Amino acid sequence: MENKKLCLALFSGSVDKLTAAGVILGGAAAEDMDVEIYVLLQAAFAFKKENAMVNDRVAEITDKKDEFLASLKRLETPHWTEAFKTAKEMTNVKIHICGFAGKVWHGFKLDDFIDLADDICGIGEYMTSAEEADINLFI
């Protein structure tokens, strides 16, 4: 039987949403799903090597940023990059950087992004993947 497929479009580059994506990835890995991740706009900023470990951007409830970050620390929540790495070790996860999004943040080659990224592609690949997926999420 073929594995179910999750297509995940990451628009946000904030730590709250990337942490949520990491939790979803953990669930997908536990279910042995194939996962295609498409890194779009602000997420491409977060995937740049010089930005990935910066943990100070939140998208939701911004007045609770310090409390949220303190809770992640208290709960010993792995950094989102570690959650993504673990999922990649557990199941078939491919991470694609959108070429346009990369260029917006001066990322022109794969080496400009963290090692988790597998390639740079066009938005058409996301559209095809989303159409073929059993589950398609946009974060």
Domain boundaries, the chain: 5-138
Q: Provide the whole-model pTM.
A: 0.94
Annotate 71-128 with DSSP letters as a single string: HHHHTTPPPHHHHHHHHHHHS-EEEEEEHHHHHHTT--SGGGB-TT--EEE-HHHHHH
The strand pair at 5-10 and 34-39 is best described as parallel
Distance in angstroms (rounded) separating the CA atoms of residues 71 and 65: 10
- CATH fold of the domain at 5-138: Hypothetical Protein Ychn; Chain: A, (3.40.1260)
Element (H, E) at 36: strand 34-39
Annotate 41-61 with DSSP letters as a single string: HHHHHHHBTTTTT-----SS-
**56 pLDDT tier (thresholds 50, 70, 90):** confident
Q: What is the mean pLDDT of the chain?
A: 95
Q: What is the pLDDT of residues 121-136, one digit of tens each?
A: 999 999 999 999 999 9
Tell me the longest C-alpha to C-alpha distance in the chain. Answer: 47
Distance in angstroms (rounded) separating the CA atoms of residues 92 and 10: 17
Q: What is the pLDDT of residues 2-53, one digit of tens each?
A: 899 999 999 999 999 999 999 999 999 999 999 999 999 999 999 999 999 9
